[in-house]
Amino acid sequence: MNDGINRLLNSREIARMNSLTLGSRFTVEGTLAGAHRSPLKGFSVEFADYRQYVAGDDLRHLDWRVYGKNERLYIRQYEEECNLRVYLLVDGSNSMSYSHDGDSKYRYASRLAGALAYLTVHQQDSVGVTIFDSEIRANLPAKSGLEHLRIVANTLADHTPEHDTDVAMTLHRLAEKLRRRALVIVFSDLFDDLERIRNSLAHFRRRRHDVIVYHVLDKAEIEFPFRDVGNFLDLESGETLITNPREVRSAYQEAFADFLQGCQRICAGLDIEYVLAPTDRAVGAFVQEHMIRRKRTGR
């Protein structure tokens, strides 16, 4: 059943997700986000998807033909059912392939996204996933159900970063595509011009999406622990630079601290939740701590 998600998370990490909930601070398309009953009366005529029956569901909407085939109870969902839609936007560009020790930034981002996808589906909400660099490389619409979760997890696990990035431009394009208000979660190192990043994130907010940014960085990028003279490779351009880390450490750390503060200021100014996500943090514990903190603070 969880063959896909097991490529991203181990059993202990999955178990941590089972007690958590993910919601939105805002009203999303006419329903209080995170609530699992639509306030709309009746059902639309347009069938959208199936989800598993849970106690309390209206038995009139059981699909008995599906039950006859596999002896499991499923509810037919329609477009006007307005449960929370979560869109996971994952930066899959070359710079995300960096790893100093452990998971690459992309692998870590995909595992974070997998954890939130699992959490979303298991609270009977819908999740969509987009992997992007300078183009959109994979795009799965928001759906619910275990089969969709398997496809989401496999799509994340199968991607290999190999193209340059244009974070800001691609986020603009994605903001144009998401017409219904939703919870949008971005996973990226944000290596782009900060003013362009600000404008692209503002595009989501103008469309009244709730937004979380997971700023995925390797600990070495933050601390710059290197000591020996050597070649430093730009993963986007392929250019190499021979340098003495001892001579540039102070200037690098100062510039990177300015970059982090700039990202934090942009998100604060747009009422976007900013989460620094170093790749050395255990995924299950990190997501659990974040979800508990969001619930406590009302975010």
| Statement to judge: residues 125 and 59 lie in one domain | no
Measure the N-to-C terminal CA separation of the chain; round to a whole number of Å: 32
| Statement to judge: residues 140 and 52 lie in one domain | no
Is residue 86 domain-resident? yes
Is residue 279 domain-resident? yes
| Statement to judge: residues 60 and 146 lie in one domain | no
| Distance from chain centroid for Cα 262 | 21
Cβ 33 vs Cβ 23: under 8 Å: yes
| Statement to judge: residues 45 and 57 lie in one domain | yes
Say what the pTM is.
0.79
Question: What is the C-alpha separation between 196 and 260, in angstroms, rounded?
Answer: 15
Nearest to 292 by CA among 13, 22, 112, 15: 22
Please state the domain count of the chain.
Answer: 2
Is residue 131 domain-resident? yes
Is residue 220 domain-resident? yes
Based on its alpha-carbon atoms, the radius of gyration of the chain, rounded to whole angstroms, reads 20
Nearest to 92 by CA among 107, 72, 79, 114: 107
For residue 205, what are its two tokens?
A: 């907010």
| Statement to judge: residues 136 and 193 lie in one domain | yes
| Statement to judge: residues 160 and 239 lie in one domain | yes
List of the chain residues with pLDDT < 50: 1-2, 30-46, 79-81, 229-231, 233-235, 244
Question: At 16, which CATH number?
Answer: 3.40.50.410
How high is the pLDDT of residue 79?
45
| Statement to judge: residues 126 and 152 lie in one domain | yes
Per the rule left: phi > 0, alpha: psi between -120 and 50, beta: everything else, 143 is beta
Question: What is the C-alpha separation between 227 and 249, in angstroms, rounded?
Answer: 9
Residue 61 structural domain: 40-78
Is residue 31 domain-resident? no
| Statement to judge: residues 115 and 166 lie in one domain | yes
Is residue 91 domain-resident? yes
| Statement to judge: residues 197 and 54 lie in one domain | no
Is residue 28 domain-resident? no
| Statement to judge: residues 203 and 156 lie in one domain | yes
Question: What is the C-alpha separation between 230 and 105, in angstroms, rounded?
Answer: 22
Quickly list DSSP for 19-72: T-----SSEETTEETT-SS-SS-S--SSEEEEEE--TTS-GGGB-HHHHHHHS-
In the three-class reduction of DSSP (H, G, I as helix; E, B as strand; rest coil), residue 181 is classed as coil
| Statement to judge: residues 108 and 249 lie in one domain | yes
How high is the pLDDT of residue 239?
61
Q: What is the pLDDT of residues 161-182, one digit of tens each?
A: 989 889 999 999 999 999 889 9
How high is the pLDDT of residue 242?
54
Question: What is the C-alpha separation between 52 and 173, in angstroms, rounded?
Answer: 33
Indicate the DSSP class of residue 96.
G
| Statement to judge: residues 135 and 268 lie in one domain | yes
Question: What is the C-alpha separation between 203 and 201, in angstroms, rounded?
Answer: 5
